[in-house]
Structure 1
Amino acid sequence: MIVSCELCGTKYRLDPSRIHKDSAKVRCSRCGHTFVVKKDDLSEAPVPADAAPSGREADQEETLAYEQPAPKPLRPQATPKKRGARRLLLGLLLLAIALAAAAYYLHSTGFWKAAPPEEAAPPAPAPAAVPQVSIEENLQAYFLENASVGQIFVVEGKVVNEESRPVSFVLLEGKLYTGDSQPALVQRAYCGNVLSKEELMQMDMADVQNAMMNREGKDLTNVHIPSMGKVPFMIVFHNLPDLDLLKDYSVEVVSAQVDQ
């Protein structure tokens, strides 16, 4: 008798004399599946003789409860190699090596050396105090008509050296103010330079200004002024604005030098 396993298809030779009824239960020795064979399914063919029903199984009822065979163990398949991921990792490794080499080179050449701390700038020297030179209060101010520029304004007076030592090169600054106390004109002159009214009216104004800026003063009167000594001065304004706008003037000492 030839039987075939319903699950895996393996064929077996079965002795019909061992089947006492119309059917019997048989278990496949290859896959373990249990199935029912009937006498009507007989055939003659050479098959493996390693399947045979037991006496107990041959006596079973025709009804067969099928059992699910145990699953065969599966061998895990090898994961295919991902060449793309390997190339990416290799590229990242090469990039890291290149960056490390560049950083080492820049560090060795001093490119990344920390900048030296900025040295604190030395404090600016305090401005030298102006020597004690005062201006006498009895100033004279008047207008004259100059031949080249027209009307000019002149301020005359004297300075007093109140230092205990001689001073030189006293420089003054005069200002003309408008009604809102804003300076309209500013003019400077060194002491010791005094011109007559005739010279002020006849001389070219450029020559007048050059005379006023003589640092030593006429006849060196602005050099080695003794303590409590007095020196005359003159400040000449030209290119005057509208006279109705002028309301006041002032004169102050800008600088002087104490003799050593």
Structure 2
Amino acid sequence: MHVTCPNCKTVYNLAEELVRPGAKCRCTVCKEVFPLVIDAPEDDTAPSDSATDSSPASLPSFDLDEPGPVNKKKKGGALLGIVAAVVLLACAAGGIYLFAPELVSFIDSRPVAQEPAPEPVPTEQVKKIALRSVRQYTITNEKIGRITVIEGKVVNNFSSPKDLIKIEALLFDDSGQTVMSKQQLCGVTASLFQLQVLSENELETTLTNKVEVLTNNTNVQPGSEVPFMVAFYNPPQTVREFLVKVVEAKNPPPSN
């Protein structure tokens, strides 16, 4: 038989052998304790005094364990309510978009945090840094394969010292399209032996050695030269031309 909690309306399936006059039940959902009410017999015979006059302490009590099928319907109703709420929110958003587009415009116009774009290098910063003795050649490395090397020197033609001069080397194909490019600080070169035997990681570590960069590429006096070398590993066979340009030259920090 089905028993319904009077507090939360949860319905349970109750075994017939547990149905006794005056028994108490406890709802496992809301913990409500309530008397088990059963229908009177169809005949006119009244229940015995032992059933109706029992004191609460002597009445059996038990927990209800398994909700009946009606409880499952209630869960389904709650799910339908959630779906309906989502649909209403979607409709409200659509209404705002159709009938109050200025609100959407206001939201879209709010500033979005973005990383600042890199500032172009002023021409005045590098216009008097000259290139000298630039050449390009190919080396066969036993670990890497072909390496295209571009090397040369930069000359400080400013009337004041410069720090951390940086160049950019580019490789072009027959149609003039850039196929590879690399920026690098001047001040470091590798020997022919190193170009032939070092791995790519070892060679890059050599050409970007910070100690040598700081030694050779800081406080570059007017008229002084700084060497550079850029290595491109296994460039495509379509490479036909190259270009080197100075992209940065900093002023030394003011002395105290």
More helix by share: 2
* Higher gyration radius (CA): 1
